[in-house]
Amino acid sequence: MERETTSENELVLAHVYTGTIAVVIGAFFGLMQVLSRADAVKIPSWFDYYRMLSAHGTLMVLIFTTFYVTGLATFSSYRSIPRPRSLGLAWAAWAVMLVGALMMLIEIFSGNATVLYTFYAPLKASPWFYLGTTLLIVGTWLVAIDVFRDIFWWRREHKGEIVPLPAFTAATTFVMWIVGTLGVVIEEIFFLLPWSFGAHQDINVELTRLLFWYFGHPLVYFWIMGAYMVWYNLVPVYIKGNVYSDGLTRLSFILLMLLSAPVGLHHQFTEPGIANGWKALQTITTYGVAIPSLFTAFSVFAGFELWAHKRGKKGFWQTAMALPWNNPAFAGAAYGMLLFILGGFTGLVNGSYSMDTLIHNTIWVPAHFHVTVAGPVALTFIASSYWLVPKLTGRELWKPNLALWQVRLWFVGMLIFSIALHIAGLMGEPRRTSVLDYGGSAIAAAWQPFNVAGAIGGSILFISAILFACVAIGTLVHNRKDEPMDAEFAKPSEFSGPTPPWVQSIFRWGLVSLVLAILFWAGPFIQLLNSAVHLAPGMKTW
Ligand code: HAS
Ligand code: CU
């Protein structure tokens, strides 16, 4: 069998451009969202606030992110393990994901699934929406199988050789994802789908929420591991630098794989029916899962510092100033890292039971996730396409200056938006609420200036998304077309040293992660199954 790089490239492009369409449309609903909260526009009753919020959340965090992670993982695996391969499974995976995503969107737009991106029961969507989410996930499993095939092939053909780092990061991300998605797939197949098809009237609210959050934290770490794949494997290439340490990178991904599932109860601190002991236990692991991110902060900047050292620069400021801030692919990722300093900090605040009770269900939480998923992750993904698409198509990036302004505006917009909403959250402004004046209350009125600031940030973000759309389309139709270029990945620095064998296993650690997930979740699960079960009838509040 011949190796068909052109078809491989088309496959990755299909993932990247599907994600791109999702983020641009999603940005429009984001704009409507901030303008509505700032009282600048009234959302028409035929397309109410919650339908818009469901569309925004679903397009951004379920569709855009998923397609980018699968695209980047496929790219990382295919290019670091070059081999003849058939692409049938990979294309089928993309098609299944696409059908799932379209089903979800059709149901949301037609008003049958105003259940927000977390689709909590007893809010009841049409079965086609739940089927759509299930298909989207099953599609990602097929992508995972495709990547695992590469790992097996490598181990067979390169006995005794270490799996290339980009493929290793892709495979560990997928192992984490498969363990984490088991919860939501069980929730869909055994609870939501039969209930929405009418097999039974009532649903166990607590149990389905538990299953959702078993999946919910792996979901957010799926996104950040996608961004880390770029930070470790690609960002050093943008600057002709190195990844600081091969072993430390692998250790970080293994820890992320082990600790992403046994932490999700930190989303349920305030929920009844789950004993405090379980919540305390998952608080410890929550602080544990921050450690590989701290390793990442160290490794990424250490890589920059080594690079700067070779150019005669010393210390933090000289290094920071020497970095290529005019290269849009680099600048986007670096602005993302800066935003993640804030996002990581607020995450650690949320992880504490007592502080979480202060900010839970306030607008602080969306502020937190806009400096995690919408900042570091989205900006890294968008900026990676400025490097990736030229490599895949052989076309030059269209108007790099526009791309540069795009990432700058995204950074500034997100900073304004997020700082304003963190403050409003501390003042008690609730999240996910369309009416915010509370009958003219003075407390509610005090939130308003922050919502206006949020709307300014959100409008800047929307302009940035339009610029992204222009560059994405411009690059695709730009008339200069060459052969696709070779894409190399970062090589370890001279400080890397030999990689210990115990950080080279993927599936053995994967098995441990499954055992950990079961150990940490079986207790609260059984507790909810055995306690007095209060079933609730489905609700359509819209
Ligand atoms: Fe979170 C809620 C705790 C990380 C996403 N989080 C959410 C929700 C989302 C989300 C979407 O404990 C809302 C869910 C919903 O709708 O209800 N989160 C954490 C903790 C971390 C964390 C402890 N979250 C993330 C990441 C996300 C994400 C990553 C997406 C990608 N989060 C929570 C909790 C809640 C929560 C509670 C529930 C709140 C509630 O009440 O509902 C940590 O793992 C974070 C660790 C990160 C760090 C930062 C490391 C910094 C780095 C930057 C490097 C910088 C460099 C500088 C190198 C410690 C790596 C470069 C310099 C230059 C000059 C270029
Ligand atoms: Cu979490």
408 in catalytic set? no
Give the ligand whose atoms come closest to the C-alpha of residue 368: 1
171: Cβ below 6 Å to ligand 1? no
Residue nearest to atom 58 of ligand 1 (CA): 297
Is 306's C-beta closer than 6 angstroms to any atom of ligand 1? no
Residue 484 has pLDDT above 80, yes or no: no
Residues 283-336 have pLDDT tens digits of 999 999 999 999 999 999 999 999 999 999 999 999 999 999 999 999 999 999
Minimum-distance ligand 1 atom for the alpha carbon of 118: 16
Output the six-digit token pair for 391.
């490599």
Interval between CA 342 and ligand 1 midpoint (Å): 9
- Residue closest via CA to ligand 1's atom 22 equals 347
**Which listed residue (56, 79, 370, 395) is catalytic?**
370
Which of 139, 131, 111 is closest to 47 using CA atoms?
111
Count of other CB atoms within 10 angstroms of residue 446 = 13
pTM of the model: 0.97
Helices (H) and strands (E) in the chain, counts: 19, 2
- Tens of pLDDT along 229-272? 999 999 999 999 999 999 999 999 999 999 999 999 999 999 98
Residues 6+ apart with CB under 8 A from 370: 414, 417, 418, 421
Ligand lying closest to the C-alpha of residue 365 = 1
Given 221, 232, 253, 450, which residue is catalytic? 221
- Percent residues over pLDDT 70 in the chain: 99
pLDDT digits (tens, 9 = 90+) for 401-446: 999 999 999 999 999 999 999 999 999 999 999 989 999 999 999 9
Q: What is the DSSP string of 144-199?
A: HHHHHHHHHHHHHHSTTSPPPHHHHHHHHHHHHHHHHHHHHHHIIIIIIHHHHTTS
Is 353's C-beta closer than 6 angstroms to any atom of ligand 1? Answer: no
Catalytic one among 309, 360, 431, 478? 431
Per the residue annotation, which of 368, 395, 408, 422 is the catalytic one? 368
CA 149 to ligand 1 centroid distance, Å: 31
Backbone angles phi, psi at 156, to 5 degrees: -75, -45
- The DSSP output letter for 429 is P
* Residue whose CA lies nearest to ligand 1 atom number 44: 290
Which ligand has the nearest atom to the CA of 372? 1
- Is the CB of 363 inside a 6 Å radius of any atom of ligand 1? no
Residue 44 pLDDT: 83
**Average pLDDT value over all residues in the chain:** 95
Exposure string (b/e) for 62-77, b if CB count within 10 Å is 16 or more? Answer: bbbbbbbbbbbbbbbb
Q: Is 493 in the pocket of ligand 1 (CB under 6 A)?
A: no
Q: Residue 438 carries which DSSP code?
A: G
340 close to ligand 1 (CB < 6 Angstrom) = yes
- Show the tokens assigned to 138: 């099953």
Query: Ligand 1 pocket, 107 CB below 6 A?
Result: no
CB 377 near ligand 1, within 6 Å? yes
Starting from the CA of residue 350, give the closest ligand.
1
d(CA 334, CA 331): 5
- Closest-CA residue, ligand 1 atom 19, reads 347
Q: What pLDDT does residue 481 have?
A: 66
Q: Which two tokens stand for residue 161?
A: 């050789």
| Three-class HEC string of 245-276 | CHHHHHHHHHHHHHHCCCCHHHHCCCCCCCCH
> What confidence tier does 103 reach under pLDDT thresholds 50, 70, 90?
very high
Q: Is the distance from the beta carbon of residue 351 to the nearest atom of ligand 1 less than 6 Å?
A: yes
DSSP 7-73: HHHHHHHHHHHHHHHHHHHHHHHHHHHHHHHTTSS---GGG-HHHHHHHHHIIIIIIIHHHHHHHHH
Give me the DSSP letters along 462-525.
HHHHHHHHHHHHHHHH-S---PPPP---PPB-TT--PPPGGGS-SHHHHHHHHHHHHHHHHHHH
pLDDT (0 to 100) of residue 479: 63
pLDDT of residue 526: 93
